[in-house]
Structure 1
Amino acid sequence: MTRDLPRTNFHSSQLIRCLAELDLLEGAEPARDFADKLGQWMHFTDAIALSSVLESGMPKLPSQSTVPREATSVRLTAEVERTRAFMISSITKSCAGGNTPIKLPLVEPEVSYAPYRQFYDAHQRDIELSVEPLRVNLRDALAKASPRLRKLAELDVVMERFLREREAKLLARVPLLLQKHFVAQYAAHQAQVSASGQPDTPAAWMHPGGWLARFCQTLQTLLLASAELRLQPCEGLLEAINQKETP
């Protein structure tokens, strides 16, 4: 049975909640009004492009698709769910040490975060390659559905363009925070081993309850939350397609 990605809203994403639970957000920005934040992120040229889309009138010649709206909705809903299922399967199987293209690093006596950072980055590239074409397909469907939805597709293009840099900078902080957690988990493990007077056994690190097994579970949770965050714009476009337009 396919595990659902956690649902979120703008103000309380699963990714933020996970990082907060790990006590890794002491440097987080204070909450402010969304419009205020948006204005600070936007470059002058972005503001012009956004204004152009918002102020333009509805197209006079609707280029509606010959495919019924209901059929398009069913097809795109299935496409979104396939993408969701693929990302969940890829992340959970590889984090469990399965035979997947992105492989979990082998346990080595010489402890290093670097292989896990590479593992995390590889999954981020995989998520991006999965979500980008899906978002393009959804926009194309919006553009063909009606003049009003075509305008929404144009707006999404502009929004993605000027938010991409900001999103990339924020998401790039996650593996750095994860490194902090990795170091803390290993330090706590070393302290526990030292207090017990028993020799350390790297082979047991991935056993249930082992420090590295717990870290890999955290790694999986953050990757799933990141995938959910990247999928949100697609879900918004799909919801627009599924809604009945009022005259």
Structure 2
Amino acid sequence: MKTTIIQTSLHWENREKNIAHFDNLISSIKERTNLIILPEMFTTGFSMNPEKVSEPSNGGTLKWLKQKAKEKNCVITGSVAVEEKGNYYNRLFWVNESGEYKTYDKRHLFRMAKEDTHYTAGSKKLIAKINDWNICPLVCYDLRFPVWSRNRFDLKGESRQSAVGSEQSGVGSWEYDVLIYVANWPEVRNYPWKQLLIARAIENQCYVIGVNRIGKDGNDFSHSGDSVVINPRGEIISVTKANEESIETVFLDKNYLEEFRTIFPVGLDSDFFELK
């Protein structure tokens, strides 16, 4: 699977300028790709003025995403401030080339910026598919919560003790193969951003993709981007540089992932748990 990450600055609380900017960036992608990933709140920046910047869930941005997904014949994802039934959500859209879409509402709202007082938290994870890949897209602050991000290993009725070699025989399976975080993560905390992304890849035995913005926002916070693609061993396989606008397409190898899971089957020893 080919995935394209777009790292760029955002126009503060200006949907029209951001849509025009991303329209140009996406149109410039000539290489065939299966997935294009945009940052968190890519139409406005990380604004705590939802009354001003939000739009209906089925508004103009969704229509634009459908248009671009059809044009590029791929999935496009990123989050947007939306209003629905009197509540505001930091909502990620997952839009495919046929116009079908799924959504994920950010679960962990960043209280240090009072996001929790302006937006409503989601309660359900999204597992999306591209061909034979299962993909879990999350949003920014979700990265700090490993239980919510956790990749479940299903033994399909087998006991852990009797399931040795189960991954080779197909008895067990992981919930997802790729974990995505779209973000507006400030440069002042870029060290935990980089370390936690690597940790999520290793502990969940999956590819991890972090797509973050660059530049200053309307609150004068600087963002260095540090967008990255990481393999299940925790190794960085992308070349995007900090503080630079970039469009990079990275190949994810399913055979590599499955081989690693087979020779190092940590899923067999993972813990059972339930989220409430």
The TM tier, using the shorter chain, reads under 0.3
Larger radius of gyration: 1
| TM-score normalised according to structure 2 size | 0.18
| Structure number with higher relative contact order (C-alpha < 8 Å, ≥ 6 residues apart) | 1
Greater per-residue helix proportion: 1
Greater per-residue strand proportion: 2
